Chains A and B, each alone.
Chain A
């Protein structure tokens, strides 16, 4: 990936000046020699190490000045974009006189700074409105969305498109320069809104009501960047370039110091970490000369999870066997997989031919025979230890010796499952999240007997499937399920205390959870919640206490299709009615609320503090390897508020001491469930201790 680092910017400036001086040079083409990447954005480390607000504002100003000089250059600069042009990368092209992009699949344009809690700080907020109009500029800067080449041409972001040359690029570069220099042309697109903005009344309504209103609705006001981006764009449009650039640089400096930005950059680092295999490549097995490369995967069980795992595997080049015991179940799974790719082809993300070629990698079968060539088996059968044991035995009777056996379980200890195995060193947990094709996280679970090669191979497969991979130690509930259990337990207590599900949901979402926690109970499945609560409650005792599990049990017993805590008659209704039966059950288990810890903010803190405490405990106990993976697991698997950056970042930025203080209050009301763990106490005592360096 190309990034705009300090060194690169200095080098660019030198070359730029040389081009201006040298009379023989008539113009220049900016092109990347790396296929698939023009410039991916500013160097994140440079931003992190920039220092305080003043220094970061200065950094933005330097970028602005260089790009302004580029924009004013009398010799034309052509940006030849193949691959991603993001953030500072796109801003660089915006200052060029001409932009030409290939229609290659890898070509994407955007200003995703908002996702790092920042704003486009090198002229992006000022040049975009002129090029694509205020509405599109706001859309791009506020959402950070990627723009595909054809759309970019339509909206006026690039002047011209060229078809990619596929595999022959190396032969092509000399020729490319010629085409690019020969065919620039100017573009103008109608900017109705820019015109209307000249009228004060419209301007106020547009920015304050339409744009900021929308932002507030979508972010609950938890993210400062989008609001500031709207202000900075407004400044440039209304008060001119000078004011706009000033506002942009100052805004950039200001945002860089916010906790939200630090959290989001932390998540970015975490994602980078979780896209690498820290176990390296699988090594040669001692008794063989062959390096095992996983080519053939078999998935057992064609349910939602099984089919989802197949879906993220067959389009990555794996040959996949999908095995189920019953023909109707197998057919349902096949339909789910086909539907996923068919939808993609309808949205023009792939051709129907590509869809069919991908589906040709699938072998759906009712027989174990097809597992004969499997390099890895992932089981996604019913969550019952006896059934899992049966499947391990039946599978191992067929699979080759080198084959890995992975279990997709959300709570059963992998060590227990491995007890039925002849080759426990080949047994591992691969915990996917539903829906598998949408949820980015994969939690890999290793036992004491799992071999390093097995882990390395499993991580490799997960990464190839496009997952963010965290690797944790085996234990009850692993990492993610273990965090969820006390949180749900607290929700039940609240429901018993008479806090309505809608209120709980609203408090959770306004705190930054993407899904309300009461709704989450329905989404996880109440029967699953019962299973997890009873099992983990049994193992961990008092710390997991809270609401009465019997509430859930009654809910399961009296449950009807389409009803959980809420009624699901209309699939998408926003104001879903609460299930009356559920309300009755909560009533029958009524608890007296403790006034001192029942304010809105205390309800939020009760949810988050148990979650965070359990996360820190997982690190303390060595279930988690490092806090970075802990943050990624919590945010991408469980929907922990991203603007807080994950439980560990939250403690680092917001302090362990205030958290512990609040927990002590809750402890006084409810007991051991809120007792801070030793590691958290250590951090509370010494504020210089941080989880992230």
Chain B
């Protein structure tokens, strides 16, 4: 959760620690890594290629290049599939992919009027000229000094995501109660998984200046249903159904995975966890269908892999809002939606809740935008082993109306 233990750090600090943890756990020599790709959403201007800064900080060879990708909430999914493609096309053998977002500190800018004035000041030489600039600011301080926050609204539609989610929930008739119940499910399952030690992908981090090491997520909390029911609508006021309690919260976090071909891993003496089999990206119009990515990508990626939902043992969907998850599931169960919008003869069917996000999800574990993709992949891999399954499906929605899905297969040695 933002503004807590990590609040004095910078984003690349978190990514560096995630990479360090990955190197330590795998034991791969630092000079054997050929490339680093990192996904991020809210960019810190000082570390615009955050992949490079984090890799250097983690002690990876300075001969290992790195680049940063961005694709909203599926940024680290994009980092992974970028690495996937590099390996598949034979350009690289070993790639670290990861993602980070840090909401405890976001770049808040001077507004455009002030920025333009400051840039003019660089060119102003005379004292009188400088005083002229100063007079403008003093003359109308509100116009010059009101800051500009990072955009939280969709640029193309000017609509805040929560607002869109609320409309989506209403469109599919998802009730407030159903959303609150789903959020409670997420928190309950995350708490259970944490207590049972299942979330083994979490690293321990001794933050400088913070006495206790950080060992687990601090956003998991089970709120009594009566208390949840009293929460006010967060976006569409007053009759909206999306509240702070049934939405994902602002988080700090980073993640990293190591990608390579099976034979390369074996040659290096590493033990693979899972295969990344197929993936897809699809996009829809960003106003009314902003968050329906999973409904579109799930049947498509299954078809690519030649599988059906019955073949899938583990399902992990990114939980942006409880209402969004339930709307996606409703869309997949709707003949009308399939025919009208997906150009399919009938409904595609939704995954069974028995397989769905059983260790919690973004609603409870947290959602540091750029980091979530790798978190979904590691959860799938670990759940495949814990639940003795073969295939896993993950899917996520992202700003811009983009959707992503991936099929994973458990490695026989894991």
Contacts and interface: CB of A to CB of B under 8 A. Distances in A.
Partners in one complex: yes
Interface of A: 162-172, 174-175, 179, 182-183, 351, 353
A170 B173 contact: no
A168 B171 contact: yes
A135 B158 CA distance: 34
B173 A179 contact: no
Interface string B168-195: 1011110000000000000000000000
B287 to A, nearest CB: 6
A167 B290 CA distance: 12
B163 interface: yes
Given A174-B173, A179-B239, A353-B157, 9 more contacts: A163-B236, A165-B167, A168-B168, A170-B336, A171-B336, A172-B171, A182-B239, A183-B239, A353-B156
B288 interface: yes
Contact of A351 (B158, B168, B336, B341): B158
A165 B336 CA distance: 16
Interface of B: 155-158, 163, 166-168, 170-173, 236, 238-239, 287-289, 334, 336-337, 341
Contacts of B334: 171
Contacts of A167: 288-289, 341
Contact of A172 (B155, B158, B173): B173
Contacts of A169: 171
A168 B287 CA distance: 12
B236 A165 contact: no
A167 B334 CA distance: 14
A664 B232 CA distance: 79
B156 A351 contact: yes
Contacts of B158: 351, 353
A184 B236 CA distance: 15
A496 to B, nearest CB: 58
Consensus secondary structure, chain B interface: loop
B239 A162 contact: yes
Contacts of B239: 162, 179, 182-183
Contacts of B287: 166
Contacts of B288: 165-168
Contacts of A162: 236, 239
A163 B238 CA distance: 12
Contacts of A172: 170-171, 173
B212 to A, nearest CB: 44
Contacts of A351: 156-158
Nearest to B289: A167
A166 B167 CA distance: 9
A73 B334 CA distance: 39
A244 B341 CA distance: 52
A163 B235 CA distance: 11
A217 to B, nearest CB: 38
A122 to B, nearest CB: 30
A484 B171 CA distance: 55
Contacts of A170: 336
Contacts of B168: 168
Contacts of A179: 170, 239
A163 B172 contact: no
Nearest to A185: B238
B170 to A, nearest CB: 6
A171 B327 CA distance: 11
A597 to B, nearest CB: 62
B340 to A, nearest CB: 8
Contacts of A183: 238-239
A460 B168 CA distance: 36
A182 B167 CA distance: 17
Contacts of B236: 162-163
Nearest to B337: A171
Contacts of B337: 171
Nearest to A351: B158
Contacts of A174: 173
A171 B172 contact: yes
Nearest to B327: A168
Contacts of B155: 353
Nearest to A173: B173
A167 B172 CA distance: 11
B173 A175 contact: yes
A534 B27 CA distance: 95
A168 B156 contact: no
A179 B238 CA distance: 11
B233 to A, nearest CB: 11
**Most chain A Cβ neighbours within 10 Å, of B158, B173, B289:** B173
A171 B167 contact: no
A175 B334 CA distance: 16
B156 to A, nearest CB: 4
Contacts of A353: 155-158
A595 to B, nearest CB: 65
A175 B238 contact: no
Contacts of B238: 183
Contact of A171 (B156, B163, B166, B173): B173
6 contacts: A163-B163, A164-B167, A171-B173, A174-B173, A351-B157, A353-B156
A169 B167 CA distance: 10
B157 A171 contact: no
A165 B159 CA distance: 13
Nearest to A354: B156
A168 B171 CA distance: 6
B82 to A, nearest CB: 27
Nearest to A169: B171
A171 B170 CA distance: 9
A183 to B, nearest CB: 5
Given A351-B157, A353-B155, A353-B157, A165 B173 contact: no
Contacts of B173: 171-172, 174-175
A166 B285 CA distance: 11
**Most chain A Cβ neighbours within 10 Å, of B155, B167, B238, B289:** B167
A168 B334 CA distance: 12
Given A171-B334, A182-B239, A183-B238, A165 B171 contact: yes
Contacts of B171: 165-166, 168-169, 171-172
A245 B367 CA distance: 61
**Most chain A Cβ neighbours within 10 Å, of B156, B157, B171:** B171
A165 B341 CA distance: 15
